[in-house]
Structure 1
Amino acid sequence: MPNGSILAVDDTEASLKVLSDILKEAGYSVRTALSGRLALLSAAHLPPDLILLDIRMPDVDGFEVCRQLKAKAVTREVPVIFISALSDAEEKVRGFQLGAIDYVIKPYQRDVLLARVSTHLNLRRMQLQVRAQNEELLRYRAQLEDTVAQRTAELEDSNRRLRLMSFALDQVREAAYLIDKNGALLYVNQEACRAHGYSAEELQQLNVMDIDPEISQEAVAANWQITWDIAAGPVTFETRHRRRDGSTFPVEVRSSPIRFEDRDLALALARDIGERKEAEQRLRESYAQLQELTSRRESDREDERKRIAHELHDELGQCLTALRIGIGTIRYGQNSNSAWLNERLAALTSQVDDTIRVVRSVTLMLRPPLLDMGIGPALEWLGSQFQNTTGLTCDVSLPPDFCDLTEAASVAVYRIVQEALTNVARHAQAQGVHITVKQNGRGCELDIRDDGTGFHAWATETRSLGLLGMQERAQQLGGYVVVDPAPGRGTRVSVWIPSLHTAYTRS
């Protein structure tokens, strides 16, 4: 960026080129003019930061150019340095009278020329800065005066509204209290009197601590600081208020800072929330019952899956195996040379084998037998099956001193991992999954990571029911599931189950 723009004026081309080259080498943006008329036109079109003006010119001399520059508003403030081959005191005086700021003698002394140009450009910049600052101060003063006038009007309006407040607050259905920084009740409305069983005069003789058994003087000071010094706005909290007969009731208090006649006060509106608290308690009880029913449903479902899996494996599997052996016995024991019969027996054997594989697959999907041996072997088998089925890498890391979980916790962890792997296979576009199990005295931590497209690819599509099911299973055991969104960098599912385990040593 140039150090400044300079208009150089001289009717001698050689002298003008020397001057222009010196200035350009010093980093200035230079425009030139070979006559006074061209100089006036150039300066009026685009005022420079500084003008170097030769005095002796044929058409319009430098003095007349300077006079016209200073006569026009657009160029009046541009500093002018006269250039002359003569050192005439009268010329200097005349130039200064016309508004010039300095005088340079030809031939040019480079260092002197650049020093004077730099000095006057810096002075010009400082003048402009001072002027801008003065204008900014004037604007700020006008804004400040407007603000003071506005605040004064607002204060007068606030005082008028506050004088009407005692009437307005008596019309609301919430208990209203005007409180000072020490907790004294300066004003109460009719609803406050009804709620506590006091008259207005009696309540105004009391303190916040007299009507709120859960608050102390320190708490009053802390609430005051929050209301006035920190939040500078309404603060809402729940507490209990005491009636005249000593009974208490829950309230929600909204405290707002107000100023009246140079006093900092707080206006507190208290709402009886007894019915809401009862409804919340009923809702919590209903949720607990729902969780218990859900847990029981899942337990019954797992028991049914276990029973069906055992029946398929023990009864149907044995029947199919016996059928296959029988067909094999007929196939290899008969002496018939019938090609048709041999073909039919081979087809039946193949169908029985396919059915046995389907039964085994259904049995494993319902409940893998390895789950009866503990969650560790079950997770290793699940990872192996996932890897064989999808072709994706699946590593399972178990601690060497792993203590097995209870059956309910094992089933929950197994189903959570199963659902997570299903989501990875369907949506993550991953190359591999790593499952890590850690344990400490507090519980079992499970970490499932993939290197796919990230959380957004599967867990947020339709508020995944699978994810909700994973969270519900963990919550039933007092644990939780957290999905770490990392679009483009894979997905991490963290599961924590509280300490529910039995002795188990990994072989």
Structure 2
Amino acid sequence: MNAEILVVEDTPASLELLSQLLAHAGYTVRPALEGRMALRSAQASPPDLILLDVRMPGIDGYEVCRRLKDDPRTHDIPVIFLSALHEAGDKLKGFELGAVDYIAKPYQPEEVLARVRTHVELRQLQSRLEERVAERTAQLLDAQASLHESQSRLQELAGFLQTVREEERAGIARELHDELGQALTALRIDIGWLKEKASQLGPSVVERAEAAYSLVELTINAVRRISEGLRPGMLDVLGLAAAIEHHVSQYQERTGIACTLAMNREEFDIGEPLATAIFRVVQESLTNVARHAAAGWVSVQIDDGEDEIRLCVEDDGCGFDTTGHKKTFGLLGMQERVKILGGNIEIISHPGQGTRIEAHFPKDRERK
């Protein structure tokens, strides 16, 4: 059996006997006649097992064991005490110091070999287990690093897609407003002129002209509403505070849900990505309230702090079970927007107790 054993015995005859017994069994033996020699040997090259005599001149076996267990280099080496002592207190002291076994003098060769073989095998199993654990830990750390890198890339991609999406929505909104909106406005003017002239052609022509004029009015309003939903012009022209105030006012008028808005700034000195994210979270939160909450009131609060901006949207609606509720794309979209900017969002809701959505956006991340 390929294992190295340090035998510490102050009696030369006993040391020779143990060394020959173990060598014949296939072990590599390192003899030591006293404690200091044993400590230097173990620290220089840790063996697989130590057979340690208790009663020795100078440093006794108990002190050698204590020093071995205090040293990280030798702490895990199993120690078997060699002793003629038979008192239970002596054995207990050895086990308290970290010994794994006792071999009583006079030595019985079969007992010595059996105990040595058992603890050498345990030591080797422990070493292989530690190597396996270290190997699996390294694999796990590599996997975690790869996962973290993948998550970072996915987050960067999500941020890029959000930016592209906002730019696309802004482009569509401008086309609706500038091209389609202007064309419809010109058409409304022309139909208004025809309506004035149609009185000479009879009531039926006047009626058709008025219907066409009303249809153009409805279409203009629809285009304006769609354009504002895609990208509110106020967000680019007047800033976040004005855009939020206008959106909340229009929302209350359109849904009939009582809304309160509280902001601690007349305007927020933040960049376009953060302003867009806050507006979209407010927009999506209010949309969810109108669609699902059956609420009587909803409040929106935005607080601009030194290091972060806090947004809270709360309603008195029906609420839902957040643990078992299937998340909608709206909720997932809000969470992703906040996460991309390094923030965090919490959705608190219980059936029959309304819902509160609270998001925190770090300002330092936005400045980078």
Say yes or no: TM over 0.5. yes
Question: Which has the greater radius of gyration?
Answer: 1
- In structure 2, the residue matched to 1:393 is 258
Q: Which residue of 1 aligns with 2:170?
A: 306
Cα gap change, 1:386/1:303 in structure 2, threshold over 3 Å: closer, same or farther?
same
Q: Which runs of 4 or more aligned residues in structure 1 lie more than 4 Å from their structure 2 counterparts after TM superposition?
A: 204-208, 259-262, 264-269
> Structure 2: which amino acid aligns with 1:472?
E
| 2:217 corresponds to which of 353, 356, 359 | 353
Q: How does 1:20-59 map to 2 (within 5 A)?
A: none
1:264/1:296 CA distance change after superposition, 3 Å: farther
Corresponding residue for 2:274?
409
Give the superposition deviation at 1:483.
1.3
**Alpha carbons of 1:392 and 1:439: their partners in 2 closer, same or farther (altered >3 Å)?**
same
The 3 A distance-change label for structure 1 pair 402 and 345 is: closer
Residues 1:423 and 2:251 are matched in the alignment: no
8 Å CA contact 2:199, 2:205 repeated in 1:
no
Cα 1:292–1:325 change in 2 (3 A) is same
| 2:139 alignment partner, one of 272, 275, 285 | 275
Q: Which has the higher helix share?
A: 2
Corresponding residue number in structure 1 for 2:48: 200
Pick from 273, 284, 297 the counterpart of residue 161 of structure 2.
Answer: 297
Segments of structure 2 that go 5 or more residues without pairing to the other structure are: 1-44, 51-64, 77-91, 101-125
Aligned residues: 260
Identity of aligned residues (%): 36
Tell whether 2:280 aligns with 1:432.
no
CA distance in 2, matches of 1:481, 1:437: 14
SS at structure 2 position matched to 1:433: strand
Normalised by the length of structure 1, the TM-score is 0.46
- Which sections of structure 1, spanning at least 5 residues, go unmatched? 1-196, 212-216, 221-258, 503-507
Give the drift of 1:334: 5.7
Whole-Å separation in 1 of the counterparts to 2:139 and 2:365 = 42
Counterpart among 334, 338, 349 of residue 202 in structure 2: 338
Q: Is the 8 A contact 2:241 2:268 kept in 1?
A: no
Q: Secondary structure at the match of 1:336?
A: helix
Query: Cα 1:426–1:327, aligned 2, differ >3 Å: closer, same or farther?
Result: closer
The alignment status of 1:444 with 2:309, answered yes or no, reads: yes
Q: Out of 227, 239, 245, which is 1:363 matched to?
A: 227
SS at match of 1:347: helix
The answer to whether the Cα contact below 8 Å between 1:459 and 1:467 also exists between their aligned partners in 2 is no
- Residue deviations 1:66-106, cap 9 Å, x none? xxxxxxxxxxxxxxxxxxxxxxxxxxxxxxxxxxxxxxxxx
C-alpha contact 1:392 1:433 (8 A) present in aligned 2: yes
Q: Which residue number corresponds to residue 163 of structure 1?
A: none
In structure 2, how many angstroms separate the alpha carbons of the residues matched to 1:488 and 1:329? 55
> Match for 1:454: what amino acid?
G
Structure 1 position 326, deviation (Å): 1.3
- Give the structure, 1 or 2, with the largest relative contact order (CA under 8 Å, sep 6 or more): 2
Residue 261 of structure 1, CA deviation: 8.0
The answer as to whether partners of 2:348 and 2:356 remain within 8 angstroms in 1 is: yes
CA contact (8 A) 2:240 2:268 kept: no
C-alpha contact 1:429 1:453 (8 A) present in aligned 2: yes
